[in-house]
C-alpha cells in the first residue's frame, strides 16, 4: 500500500459534516428510481430484434427554486451501453488488441475474423470508442468472494441478457430467440462459428450436454431448477440443428426467455445452472463418457469423495482455469491465491461498432485484502481503478475528501432492495421452544418493531437509507400500494413488549431478559451474521442486540465467514440470519433472497421449505398456509400474462409485509454494491449503474467496453 496516500485519514469525518447533511437530504428525497416496466408479448411471436428499449431512468430533478443539495452530484443518471441488433449497423472489418495481434503474427492464434465467427455481438459503448491496453486493479477478500469476478468478467454469459436498466431482453451468447404464441416453446439460435476460450466451437451440442448429462443427472442436480420448470414440471431441450435448440414445456411459460437472461443462470457453471456447458471438456469427468475405473482414478488423484465432487470442481469457472469459457476475460489465476488474475479471451465475441474486438482492457488483477477495512483503505488511497464491491458507505466522507489525491471520483448507485434484512429460519429443529417462536407471527412482528432503524441508518448508512421492509420501492409495478412498505417497521418497544407478554413470554430473570416457557432458563436467540461482507452485518446486528435488550430479548450474534455461514444454513442449523433481501424488484426472476425457494446456498426463511419447493412437495417441510400460498403463486406466475402476474406480485408482497418472514431493516441505499470509486483515467463507466442482482451489476454496465484513456 502507498502509505503516503493513507496518512492522516483518520479523524477527518468531522470536516465533512455538511456533506453528510446534504447527502441525507438529497437521498431521502430522491429515493430509488425503478427501471421502466416492460410489457410482455403473450400472443405475438417475439424476437430479439423486436425488443423495445426503455429510456434511462434518472434521479428526480431538483426544483428550479431549490439549490442543489450538497453531495447531489454523487448520484447521476442511470445510463449504459446498448446491444446493436440492426445488421445495417454491424461493422464489416475487425481489429484486435496488440497483445493478440502479436500472437497471430507468431502463428499462435488464428486471425481475428476467424476467431469471432460470423455473428459477433456488437456493443455501442455508453460514451465513446475506447483504446486497448491496461490492467484493471481491484480488491477481493478471499476464495469465498467468487462473485467478485463473476460480476465484472463474465460479460454476462447467459444465453440472453437484459438492457442495462430494464428487463427488456437483448441477444447475448445466443444471437436471437423466439417465443411461441402459446408460450410453451422458446427457440434459441446460437452464433455460427462462436468458439470457447480454447478455440473449440460452441454449438447446440453444448446445450444438449447440459440438459442430458447435467440437468437430468440426479446426482448432479437432484431436484432440478425452478427456472426450467413450470408448475413443478421440467422442460425439455431438443436439438433442431447445430445452432438451434428448442425448449418446450407442457404448460405456457412466458417468462422462460427472461429466465435465460436472469442472474444466476449464466454459463459460469458453478451451480449447474448454465443451460449450456463445454461438452468437449467436461465429458472427460462424467461417467456417461468415461470408463468407471478411469473415473475412479481421477477422483482419487484429485482427492475428491466421488465423481460429483470432481465434476463440480472441474466445472467451476472461478477455481478451475482449465475450464473453457466464453467470457470476455478468462481465469488464469484463481482466487485461492494472493492475486486473482483474469486475462482477455482471444475468442471473445464482443466487438464495438467500429469492429474492435472487446474487451479493451487486457487484464483484471484483484489483490487479496485481509479484511474489508484494508480493502477500503486501499481504495481511499486510489489503488483500485473501479470498485464498488466491499466499499463501505461509512467511509464515504473519507472517500470524498481524498478524491483529488487518489485520482478517482465517488459515485452512488442506490438499488431497490433491502440492504440489511434479518431472516427467520422457519424450519429450525434443534430447539423446540425456539422453533415454535420463529413460527409465531406476533413474535416476528414484535422483534421487527423492537429494531430502532433510525439509529442503524445513522450509524451505518449515514442517514441516507430508507426505513422500509423487504418490499420493493413504491414506484415498482409489484408494490401493493398503501403503507405496506413501512408495515411493522416503526420503532415501538412498548408495543413490542406487550406483544411478547401476550404470547406467553411474560416472565423475566433478574437482568430483565425473558424466560423460556419450558422452564429451561433464559430465552436466548442466535443470529448468524457474515463477517467481512458488502454491508457491516455483524456490527449492525450487534446494535440490534443492544436494542433488543429493551424488549427483554437476549440476542447472541455469531460472526461467521461467508462459506461457513451458508453451509450452516444449508444444514438447517441457524435460527436467524443477517443478509440482503435483493431481487425484490422482480421476485419472479430473482426470488432467492426474498422467498425460501432454495435449500442451498441461501439464508432464506427455511432450508427445508426450500427443499419442499424444489421437490414440488415430495421432500422437505410444507410451509404455513400463508407462505404456501405465496410460493404457489410464485410457481404459477411464469404461465400467466403480465397483468395477472403483477396482481400476483402485489398479493405476495402484501402477505410478506404482514407476516414478517423477514425483517427488512434498511432499504434503497448505497451500502450494498452502491458506493463506487472510479479512477479518472477509466472511460465508459456509466454515471450511475442500476444496482440489482437481476443484472449482476456492474455487468449491466458492460465492463467489456471500459477502457483506460492513457493505458
State the Cα–Cα distance between residues 512 and 191, nearest whole angstrom.
67
Of the pLDDT bands very low, low, confident and very high (cuts 50, 70, 90), residue 51 is very low
Cell of residue 404, nine digits:
483529488
Residue 69 has pLDDT above 70, yes or no: no
State the Cα–Cα distance between residues 574 and 628, nearest whole angstrom.
22
Residue 60 has pLDDT above 60, yes or no: no
pLDDT value at residue 271: 67
Strand order in the sheet with 675-679: 386-387, 675-679, 408-412
pLDDT value at residue 236: 98
Q: Where are the beta strands (DSSP E) in 201-281?
A: 229-230, 233-234, 236-241, 244-248
CB 568 within 8 A of CB 528: yes
List beta partners, residue 367: 139, 339
Burial class, 573, CB count within 10 angstroms (exposed 0-12 / middle 13-18 / buried 19+): middle
Report, as an integer, the average pLDDT of 205-221.
96
Query: Which distant-in-sequence residues (6+ apart) come within 8 Å of 404 by Cβ?
Result: none
pTM of the model: 0.86
Report, as an integer, the average pLDDT of 66-80.
69
pLDDT value at residue 514: 98
- pLDDT averaged over every residue in the chain: 89
- Is the Cα torsion angle 673, 134, 118, 87 positive or negative in sign? positive
Domains delineated in the chain: 1-277+315-407+679-711 (3.40.190.10), 418-667 (3.10.105.10)
Q: DSSP state, 487? A: T
pLDDT value at residue 72: 54
CB atoms near residue 98 (< 10 Å) = 11
State the Cα–Cα distance between residues 144 and 270, nearest whole angstrom.
13
Cell of residue 502, nine digits:
401476550
Q: Give the closest residue to 360 by CA, choosing from 104, 680, 688, 98.
A: 98
Residue 57 has pLDDT above 70, yes or no: no
Residue 25 has pLDDT above 70, yes or no: no
pLDDT value at residue 20: 45
Q: Which helix (H) or strand (E) holds 162?
A: strand 160-162
pLDDT value at residue 112: 98
Reduced to 3 states (helix: H, G, I; strand: E, B; else coil), residue 251 is coil
Which has the minimum average pLDDT: 3-12, 215-224, 382-391, 465-474?
3-12
Residue 635 has pLDDT above 70, yes or no: yes
Of the pLDDT bands very low, low, confident and very high (cuts 50, 70, 90), residue 374 is very high
Strand order in the sheet with 185-190: 46-47, 174-179, 185-190, 244-248, 236-241
pLDDT value at residue 401: 95
CB 691 within 8 A of CB 413: yes
SS3 string, 52-87, reads CCCCCCCCCCCCCCCCCCCCHHHCCCECCCEECCCH
Cell of residue 532, nine digits:
467481512
pLDDT value at residue 270: 61
Cell of residue 564, nine digits:
461457513
Report, as an integer, the average pLDDT of 502-516.
97
CB atoms near residue 43 (< 10 Å) = 9
Residue 22 has pLDDT above 50, yes or no: no
Helix 625-636 × helix 642-659 angle, to 10°: 160
Cα Dmax for the chain? 82
pLDDT value at residue 182: 96
CB 596 within 8 A of CB 570: no
Report, as an integer, the average pLDDT of 660-675.
95
Of the pLDDT bands very low, low, confident and very high (cuts 50, 70, 90), residue 589 is very high
Who wins on pLDDT, 51 or 537? 537
Of the pLDDT bands very low, low, confident and very high (cuts 50, 70, 90), residue 41 is very low
Residue 483 has pLDDT above 70, yes or no: yes
Residue 45 has pLDDT above 50, yes or no: no
pLDDT value at residue 32: 43
Report, as an integer, the average pLDDT of 609-632.
95
CB 324 within 8 A of CB 278: yes
CB 647 within 8 A of CB 371: no
State the Cα–Cα distance between residues 704 and 500, nearest whole angstrom.
54
Report, as an integer, the average pLDDT of 697-707.
96
Q: Give the closest residue to 367 by CA, choosing from 345, 348, 390.
A: 390
Per-residue exposure over 181-197, b if at least 16 CB sit within 10 Å of its own CB, e if not: eebbbbbbbbbebbbbb
- Give Rg (Cα) of the chain: 25
Strand order in the sheet with 82-83: 82-83, 121-124, 350-352
State the Cα–Cα distance between residues 377 and 1, nearest whole angstrom.
9
Of the pLDDT bands very low, low, confident and very high (cuts 50, 70, 90), residue 14 is very low
Digit-coded pLDDT (tens) for 153-198: 998 899 999 999 888 999 999 999 999 999 999 999 999 999 999 9
pLDDT value at residue 584: 92
pLDDT more than 90, % of the chain: 79
State the Cα–Cα distance between residues 458 and 378, nearest whole angstrom.
25
pLDDT value at residue 648: 98
State the Cα–Cα distance between residues 506 and 36, nearest whole angstrom.
49
State the Cα–Cα distance between residues 126 and 121, nearest whole angstrom.
16
pLDDT value at residue 110: 97
Q: Where are the beta strands (DSSP E) in 369-476?
A: 386-387, 408-412, 418-424, 466-467
Torsion of CA 199, 200, 202, 207, to 10 degrees: -130
Amino acid at each position: 500500500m502507498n502509505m503516503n496516500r493513507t496518512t492522516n485519514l483518520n479523524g477527518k469525518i468531522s470536516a465533512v459534516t455538511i456533506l453528510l447533511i446534504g447527502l441525507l437530504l438529497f437521498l431521502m428525497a430522491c429515493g430509488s428510481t425503478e427501471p421502466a416496466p416492460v410489457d410482455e408479448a403473450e400472443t405475438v411471436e417475439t424476437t430479439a430484434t423486436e425488443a423495445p428499449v426503455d429510456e434511462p431512468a434518472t434521479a428526480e430533478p431538483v426544483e428550479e427554486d431549490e439549490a442543489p443539495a450538497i453531495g447531489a452530484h454523487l448520484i447521476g443518471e442511470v445510463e449504459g451501453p446498448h446491444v446493436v441488433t440492426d445488421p445495417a449497423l454491424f461493422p464489416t472489418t475487425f481489429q484486435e488488441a496488440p497483445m493478440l495481434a502479436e500472437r497471430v503474427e507468431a502463428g499462435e492464434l488464428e486471425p481475428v475474423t476467424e476467431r469471432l465467427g460470423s455473428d459477433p455481438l456488437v456493443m455501442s459503448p455508453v460514451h465513446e470508442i475506447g483504446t486497448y491496453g491496461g490492467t484493471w486493479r481491484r480488491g477481493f477478500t478471499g476464495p469465498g468472494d467468487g462473485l467478485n469476478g463473476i460480476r465484472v468478467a463474465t460479460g454476462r454469459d447467459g444465453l440472453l441478457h437484459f438492457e442495462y436498466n430494464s428487463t427488456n431482453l437483448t441477444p447475448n451468447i445466443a444471437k436471437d430467440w423466439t417465443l411461441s404464441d402459446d408460450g410453451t416453446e422458446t427457440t434459441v439460435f446460437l452464433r455460427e462459428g462462436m468458439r470457447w476460450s480454447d478455440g473449440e466451437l460452441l454449438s447446440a451440442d453444448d446445450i444438449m450436454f447440459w440438459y442430458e448429462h447435467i440437468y437430468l443427472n440426479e446426482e448432479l442436480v437432484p431436484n432440478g431448477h425452478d427456472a426450467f420448470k413450470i408448475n413443478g414440471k421440467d422442460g425439455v431441450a431438443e436439438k433442431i440443428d447445430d445452432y438451434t435448440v428448442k425448449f418446450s414445456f407442457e404448460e405456457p411459460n412466458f417468462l422462460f426467455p427472461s429466465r435465460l437472461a436472469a442472474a444466476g443462470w449464466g454459463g459460469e457453471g458453478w451451480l449447474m445452472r448454465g443451460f449450456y456447458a463445454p461438452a468437449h471438456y467436461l465429458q472427460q469427468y462424467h461417467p456417461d463418457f468415461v470408463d468407471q475405473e478411469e473415473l475412479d482414478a481421477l477422483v482419487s488423484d484429485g482427492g475428491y469423495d466421488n465423481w460429483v465432487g470432481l465434476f463440480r470442481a472441474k466445472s467451476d469457472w472461478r477455481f478451475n482455469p482449465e475450464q473453457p469459457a466464453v467470457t470476455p476475460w478468462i481465469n488464469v489465476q484463481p482466487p485461492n491465491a494472493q492475486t486473482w488474475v483474469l486475462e482477455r479471451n482471444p475468442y471473445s465475441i464482443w466487438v464495438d461498432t467500429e469492429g474492435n474486438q472487446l474487451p479493451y482492457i487486457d487484464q483484471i488483477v484483484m489483490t487479496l485484502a485481509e479484511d474489508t477495512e484494508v480493502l477500503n483503505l486501499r481504495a481511499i488511497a486510489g489503488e483500485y481503478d473501479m470498485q464498488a464491491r466491499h466499499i463501505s458507505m461509512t467511509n464515504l466522507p473519507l472517500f470524498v475528501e481524498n478524491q483529488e489525491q487518489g485520482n478517482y471520483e465517488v459515485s452512488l448507485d442506490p438499488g431497490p432492495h433491502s440492504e440489511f434484512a434479518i431472516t427467520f429460519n422457519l424450519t429450525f429443529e434443534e430447539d423446540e421452544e425456539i422453533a415454535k417462536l420463529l413460527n409465531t407471527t406476533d413474535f416476528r412482528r414484535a422483534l421487527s418493531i423492537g429494531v430502532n432503524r433510525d439509529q442503524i441508518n445513522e450509524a451505518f448508512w449515514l442517514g441516507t437509507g430508507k426505513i422500509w421492509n423487504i418490499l420493493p420501492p413504491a414506484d415498482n409495478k409489484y408494490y401493493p400500494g398503501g403503507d405496506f412498505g413501512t408495515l411493522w417497521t416503526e420503532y415501538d418497544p412498548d408495543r413490542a413488549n406487550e406483544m411478547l407478554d401476550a404470547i406467553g413470554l411474560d416472565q423475566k430473570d433478574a437482568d430483565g431478559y425473558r424466560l423460556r416457557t419450558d422452564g429451561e432458563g433464559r430465552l436466548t436467540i442466535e443470529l448468524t451474521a457474515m463477517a467481512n461482507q458488502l454491508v457491516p452485518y455483524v456490527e449492525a446486528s450487534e446494535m440490534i442486540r443492544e436494542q433488543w435488550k429493551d424488549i427483554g430479548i437476549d440476542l447472541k450474534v455469531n460472526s461467521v465467514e461467508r462459506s461457513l455461514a451458508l453451509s450452516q444454513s444449508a444444514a438447517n442449523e441457524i435460527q436467524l440470519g443477517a443478509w440482503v433481501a435483493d431481487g425484490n424488484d422482480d421476485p419472479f426472476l430473482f426470488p432467492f433472497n426474498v422467498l425460501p425457494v432454495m435449500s442451498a446456498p441461501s439464508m432464506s426463511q427455511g432450508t427445508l421449505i426450500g427443499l419442499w419447493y424444489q421437490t414440488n412437495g415430495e421432500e422437505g417441510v410444507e410451509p404455513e398456509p400463508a407462505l404456501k400460498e405465496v410460493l404457489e403463486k410464485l410457481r404459477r406466475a411464469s404461465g400467466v400474462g403480465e397483468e395477472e402476474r403483477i396482481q400476483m406480485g402485489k398479493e405476495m408482497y402484501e402477505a410478506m409485509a404482514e407476516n414478517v418472514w423477514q425483517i427488512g431493516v434498511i432499504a434503497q441505499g448505497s451500502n450494498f454494491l452502491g458506493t463506487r470509486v472510479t479512477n479518472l483515467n477509466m472511460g465508459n463507466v456509466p454515471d450511475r449503474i442500476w444496482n440489482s442482482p437481476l443484472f449482476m451489476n456492474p455487468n449491466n454496465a458492460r465492463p467489456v467496453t471500459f477502457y483506460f484513456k492513457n493505458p
